[in-house]
């Protein structure tokens, strides 16, 4: 098996360091970071073959940072390594440019095989990911989602459907200025700087929580 250079992005220090230790005999782990922002800064300085990217991270989720990685480094191989063995989440990640998706409870031989697969131009979806799923928790996408009120969650879902602030206000019986206020609070809580970023995240979230086959 060819050695590849890897960057690990995981917000849990012990998990990341333990994983680096396991992979070191097989690959060159050149960077360990704990957020999407750290990962982007690292990749500006260091070239790697593959990123092992967690889904749930502070500031930006792995799904949120994926489009930026794909845009800036189109040849970079990205393997999602996450605690969430969820089909919808896996399909969303692959659709955003990830080359593979592996749950963290996979055995080391499977992870090594997945790294080899994506680094040689193939896609990999772990057999541990179920073929079908009904729903996945919103909170899998971003830890800060736990802090949202039910009304903020609803506004975020409606944003994901493409509704404007005026349309959302009409839908849930609020004033447009109140919806605008909630949107600003959503950006603050989720660590998203722009309205475009909020809209993109809302679309990803709605895709991940919707029941399969639902409109």
CATH of domain 138-209: 1.10.10.10
pLDDT, position 215: 37
Residues in the chain with pLDDT < 50? 134-135, 211-215
pTM for the model: 0.66
**pLDDT tens sequence across 79-114:** 999 888 877 778 778 877 899 999 999 999 999 999
Domain limits, the chain: 5-125, 138-209
CA distance linking residue 189 with residue 201, whole number of Å:
13
pLDDT, position 56: 78
DSSP string, the chain: ----EEEEE-S-HHHHHHHHHHHTTTSEEEEEESSHHHHHHHHHH---SEEEE-S--SSS-HHHHHHHHHHH-TT-EEEEEES---HHHHHHHHHTT-SEEEETTS-HHHHHHHHHHHHTT--EE-TTS-S--S---GGGT-GGGGG--HHHHHHHHHHHTT--HHHHHHHHT--HHHHHHHHHHHHHHHT--SHHHHHHHHHHHHHHHSPTT--
pLDDT, position 101: 96
The fold for domain 5-125 equals Rossmann fold (3.40.50)
């Amino acid at each position: 098996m060819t050695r590849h250079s890897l960057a690990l992005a995981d917000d849990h220090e012990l998990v990341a360091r333990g994983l680096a230790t396991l992979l070191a005999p097989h690959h060159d782990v050149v960077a360990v970071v704990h957020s999407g922002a750290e990962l982007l800064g690292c990749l500006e300085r260091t070239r790697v073959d593959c990123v092992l990217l967690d889904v749930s991270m502070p500031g930006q989720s792995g799904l949120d940072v994926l489009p930026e990685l794909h845009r800036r480094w189109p040849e970079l191989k990205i393997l999602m390594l996450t605690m969430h063995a969820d089909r919808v989440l896996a399909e969303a990640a692959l659709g955003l440019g990830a080359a593979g998706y592996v749950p963290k409870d996979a055995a080391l031989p499977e992870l090594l095989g997945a790294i080899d697969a994506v680094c040689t131009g193939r896609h990999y979806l772990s057999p541990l990911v179920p073929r079908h799923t009904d729903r996945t928790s919103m909170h899998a996408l971003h830890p800060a989602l736990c802090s949202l009120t039910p009304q903020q969650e609803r506004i975020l879902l409606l944003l994901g459907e493409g509704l404007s602030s005026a349309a959302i206000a009409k839908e849930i019986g609020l004033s447009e200025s109140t919806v605008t206020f909630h949107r600003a609070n959503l950006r603050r809580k989720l660590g998203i700087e722009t309205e475009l970023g909020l809209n993109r995240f809302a679309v990803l979230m709605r895709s991940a929580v919707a029941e399969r086959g639902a409109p």
